[in-house]
Structure 1
């Protein structure tokens, strides 16, 4: 494992540990942890068009409930490219995103339908998200927040998820 990869894995594990220690951190703490997960997902995912992109786009739908926690991502870079945070993005503009966070109160199935066939990673904290076509679901595991991955869908959409991220997932759906 390279030093850079080792650092990234340790960073993601540290975020998970912070949540485990502060399981009762409240809504703002939970939003900060979700934001940290979203940022770190970028480091473990490869998109087919990434080489030609000048920036990585993190988008949220309406009612993302992440509050000001996304402000920490301003001026962040991923592999030398800036990360742009775009909030409350409409369905027509979602096709320009790399990761789309779908808030718990949104119609995830409709948004997933808009993005079907595109190499866009959908993430949500809605229960059962990967079962109905989402790519990464943020799930509570006791007092900890963890995630599950729909690898079958990621592969179908030509999105490569690192084995290191798959190892950290609570559940990986590979069934056909």
Structure 2
């Protein structure tokens, strides 16, 4: 059983990492990797009170990620339609809210949606450790994940165990 779970975890990691080689520090590759992760979060996170078949993915401060996600939006996401928004007036409409580390509204948006059914994601250093749901970090030229299960619980979301397995857990 443990070997099977490890194999599934490896398969999940390959799927989430975009099926590509180790990611270099290149901005285009980073944007593609982050967009692939965001897209795949729609398959590995459950929103219990999703009102319709549309998942709203809101991106603040990262136009290259918006461009890649727009290309992915037509793919299957467990029966949900994806709507990709660049910037937002009301973050309460988002199911996934990605905030770039350079976005001046990072802290304010994170506080504004805290406790709502919104998966907050950022590449800001230590984001998950400071109360965000999922943070991206770089290690050996690869984009990796850290997940704060307490923040996910506060957001009333459920993260698939396979996703938890490939991430670094922070509190």
TM-score by length of 2: 0.85
Give the Cα–Cα distance (whole angstroms) in 2 for the partners of residues 64 and 82 of structure 1: 20
| C-alpha deviation, 1:109, in angstroms | 1.6
Give the Cα–Cα distance (whole angstroms) in 1 for the partners of residues 66 and 84 of structure 2: 13
**Which of these residues, 156, 163, 166, is aligned with residue 165 of structure 1?**
163
Cα deviation code 1:26-85 (max 9, x no counterpart): 1111101110000011111011212x3221111111345526222222323321121111
Question: Helix, strand or coil: the match of 1:41?
Answer: helix
Return 5+ residue gaps in structure 2 as ranges: 2-6
Look up the match of 1:87: 86
Contact in 2 for aligned 1:16/1:144 (Cα 8 Å) = no
Contact in 1 for aligned 2:115/2:156 (Cα 8 Å) = no
| C-alpha deviation, 1:12, in angstroms | 4.3
* Displaced runs of 4 or more, over 6 A: 6-9
User: 1:151 and 1:116, CA in 2 relative to 1: closer, same or farther beyond 3 A?
Assistant: same
Cα deviation code 1:116-142 (max 9, x no counterpart): 120100000110101221110011011
Give the Cα–Cα distance (whole angstroms) in 1 for the partners of residues 141 and 99 of structure 2: 22
Contact in 2 for aligned 1:62/1:89 (Cα 8 Å) = no
| Aligned residue-pair number | 165
Return 5+ residue gaps in structure 1 as ranges: none
Look up the match of 1:16: 17
Q: Does 1:62 align with 2:61?
A: yes
Contact in 1 for aligned 2:25/2:141 (Cα 8 Å) = no
**Which of these residues, 113, 116, 119, is aligned with residue 117 of structure 2?**
119
Give the Cα–Cα distance (whole angstroms) in 2 for the partners of residues 143 and 46 of structure 1: 30
Contact in 1 for aligned 2:66/2:84 (Cα 8 Å) = no
TM-score by length of 1: 0.83
**Aligned CA-pair RMSD:** 2.4
Look up the match of 2:133: 135
User: 1:97 and 1:44, CA in 2 relative to 1: closer, same or farther beyond 3 A?
Assistant: same
User: 1:64 and 1:150, CA in 2 relative to 1: closer, same or farther beyond 3 A?
Assistant: farther
